[in-house]
Amino acid sequence: MAAMNLARLIAAAADTIAAHAEELTALDQAIGDGDHGLNMKRGFEAVRAEAEAFSAKPLPDALKAIGTKLVMTVGGASGPLFGTLFLALGKEISAVPDRTNLTAAFGKAIEAVAARGKSQIGQKTMLDVLQPVHDALTGGKTAPEIADFADAAAEATVPMKALRGRASFLGDRSIGHMDAGARSTALLVRTIVETLEGQP
Ligand code: ADP
Ligand code: MG
């Protein structure tokens, strides 16, 4: 991935998070503490501020720098988890990844998030989008299909009962609302695949 493309990806991701910050906050207000939109916006604006420096680095180093920045700036439970995702991705990915390497690296990154969060699929968290997206990548799905998979996976958290994170404190009352971190993950997945698709 060329350096310029990474800068474009960062800008697109930060734009998406900014455009959806209120929606993410509202989701987190329903079954959490209502800070997810602000947390994500703060983190992605901090990454945007250093987009030029980050995208001058080789891709693995750039992803690690993004992960570190997210850990430092997002806060909450999601900061260390999104940070871990990018840090682990940076450790596993090649400088010029093909789909096989990207899929493998993404799989390892999801394992790192699950280990960090002591969480697994089905607990109404960001993992409930990350894992289906990985499955779609493994299954050879196209970029638009992957984006749709991510949206459907976020939607599928609505009937789930939260077993991790703040929403789990609500027990059965967490049922009937979409998980905020699942939604932000789906938004990022769509933005990334659509930005990559649009590139020459
Ligand atoms: P906080 O819960 O500390 O207020 P945020 O609101 O920023 O942090 O993030 C909440 C999101 O983080 C949840 O919607 C969920 O997707 C994700 N999350 C929380 N705890 C875990 C966990 N243990 N494993 C995976 N994801 C988690
Ligand atoms: Mg919160």
Unique residue bearing structure tokens 């998030």: 113
- Residues in the chain predicted with pLDDT less than 50, given as ranges, are 1-3, 200
- Neighbour count for residue 151 (Cβ, 10 Å): 15
* pLDDT at res. 198: 78
Q: Kindly report the backbone phi and psi dihedral angles of residue 2, in degrees, each rounded to the nearest multiple of 5, phi listed first.
A: -70, 155
Compute, in angstroms, the gap from residue 126 CA to the centroid of ligand 2.
13
* pLDDT at res. 2: 46
Compute, in angstroms, the gap from residue 3 CA to the centroid of ligand 1.
31
Ligand 1 atom showing the smallest separation from residue 166 Cα: 2
CATH H superfamily, domain 3-198: DhaL domain (1.25.40.340)
CB-side exposure of 83: number of CA atoms within 13 Å? 19
Look at ligand 1, atom 23, and give the residue with the nearest C-alpha. 117
The answer to whether 126 and 37 are in contact (CB under 8 A) is no
The answer to whether 188 and 152 are in contact (CB under 8 A) is no
DSSP 27-57: HHHHHS-S-HHHHHHHHHHHHHHTHHHHHTS
Cα separation, 68 vs 91, in Å, equals 12
Q: Which of 126, 168, 170 to mutate to test the pocket of ligand 1 (most atoms within 8 A of CB)?
A: 126
Compute, in angstroms, the gap from residue 5 CA to the centroid of ligand 2.
31
* pLDDT at res. 199: 63
Compute, in angstroms, the gap from residue 131 CA to the centroid of ligand 1.
16
At residue 161, the 3 state secondary structure works out as coil
Ligand 1 atom showing the smallest separation from residue 118 Cα: 23
Ligand 1 pocket, CB under 6 A: 28, 32-33, 35-36, 39, 76-78, 81, 117-119, 125-127, 164-166, 179-182
* pLDDT at res. 197: 86
Compute, in angstroms, the gap from residue 64 CA to the centroid of ligand 1.
21
- Neighbour count for residue 118 (Cβ, 10 Å): 8
* pLDDT at res. 128: 98
CB-side exposure of 142: number of CA atoms within 13 Å? 3
Look at ligand 1, atom 4, and give the residue with the nearest C-alpha. 76
| Domain ranges within the chain, ordered by starting residue | 3-198
pTM: 0.96
